[in-house]
Amino acid sequence: MSAEIAVLLVEDEPHIRRVLQSSLAAEGYRVFEAESGERGLIEAGTRRPDLLVVDLGLPDMDGVEVVRAVRHWSNVPILILSARTEESDKIAALDEGADDYLTKPFGIGELLARVRALVRRRAKGGQEMPRVHFGEVQIDLVGRSVTRNGELVHLTNIEYRLLAVLVAHAGKVMTHRHLMREVWGPGHAENSHYLRIYVSRLRQKLEANPAEPAHLITESGVGYRFVVQG
């Protein structure tokens, strides 16, 4: 890594903190640590990190609170670490604007991949991309057209809007609620079956193997994620 990228680690378990710290440092990141939510917020304010890794089960305050507080003043990418018993907290944190999550126990490889993706997204952030390629598909965001193997794919309005929202947030986990709000507008948050049906149709039209999607990924119980590389 040429320009040093700063990562703030908010985790109360010393063993996990140490492992994450050393792995991230080995990858060339500059790592700051905080063992509590309060400390984490202070560090986030003073160090201005490029990425936050926040454990949901903090001793002093809810990880969701940390995400909410940070989102008041920053768009810095936030990766959530959660245990399986914190399912609803995880969704709340994503709804509050966290970008991605990892469920404990997770591998370092997974962690580094997620961190890399988030950092890359941040680096690219702001610049509008006219075209997106994935698999056999090319999306022309300016001309609002989608082709597959060079042939025009017909998408309905909603299908296109949904695809555009997912592509715009590539790599980020989008909760059902968030997607419903973006595509159908507020007031439709309860009709998430629409979302499932439309995602399924998009897969039929765009995925090489719709039964085993490589780009339009299901995050069970949470939402969907678009990834460029399968």
Beta strands at 51-55 and 78-82: parallel, antiparallel or unpaired:
parallel
Nearest to 55 by CA among 97, 12, 113: 12
Handedness of CA 16, 22, 26, 32 (dihedral sign): positive
Q: Does 113 bind another protein (CB under 8 A)?
A: no
Q: Which stretch binds another protein (CB under 8 A): 36-44, 46-54, 117-125, 209-217?
A: 209-217
Q: Does 218 bind another protein (CB under 8 A)?
A: yes
For residues 83 and 111, the answer to whether their CB atoms sit within 8 Å is no
User: Pick from 28, 45, 59, 221: which binds another protein (CB under 8 A)?
Assistant: 221
Q: Does 133 bind another protein (CB under 8 A)?
A: no
Least Å distance, CB 176 to another protein, is: 8
Q: Does 77 bind another protein (CB under 8 A)?
A: no
Q: Does 19 bind another protein (CB under 8 A)?
A: yes
Tokens of 194: 């629409």
Query: Could you count the other beta carbons within 10 Å of the beta carbon of residue 4?
Result: 9
Q: Name beta bridge partners: 146.
A: 139
Least Å distance, CB 120 to another protein, is: 19
Least Å distance, CB 45 to another protein, is: 28
Q: Does 16 bind another protein (CB under 8 A)?
A: yes
Least Å distance, CB 206 to another protein, is: 14
Q: Does 156 bind another protein (CB under 8 A)?
A: yes
N-to-C CA span, the chain: 24
Question: Three-state DSSP class for 2?
Answer: coil
What is the identity of the amino acid at 103?
T
User: Pick from 30, 61, 71, 83: which binds another protein (CB under 8 A)?
Assistant: 83
User: Given the complex with another protein, which of 44 and 146 has the nearer CB atom?
Assistant: 146
Alpha helices in 35-189 (DSSP H): 37-47, 63-71, 87-95, 108-124, 157-168, 176-184
Least Å distance, CB 178 to another protein, is: 15
Chain-centroid distance, C-alpha 98: 7
User: Pick from 46, 127, 149, 204: which binds another protein (CB under 8 A)?
Assistant: 204
Q: Does 165 bind another protein (CB under 8 A)?
A: no
Q: Does 226 bind another protein (CB under 8 A)?
A: no
Rounded Cα distance, 55 and 63, in Å: 6
Least Å distance, CB 212 to another protein, is: 5
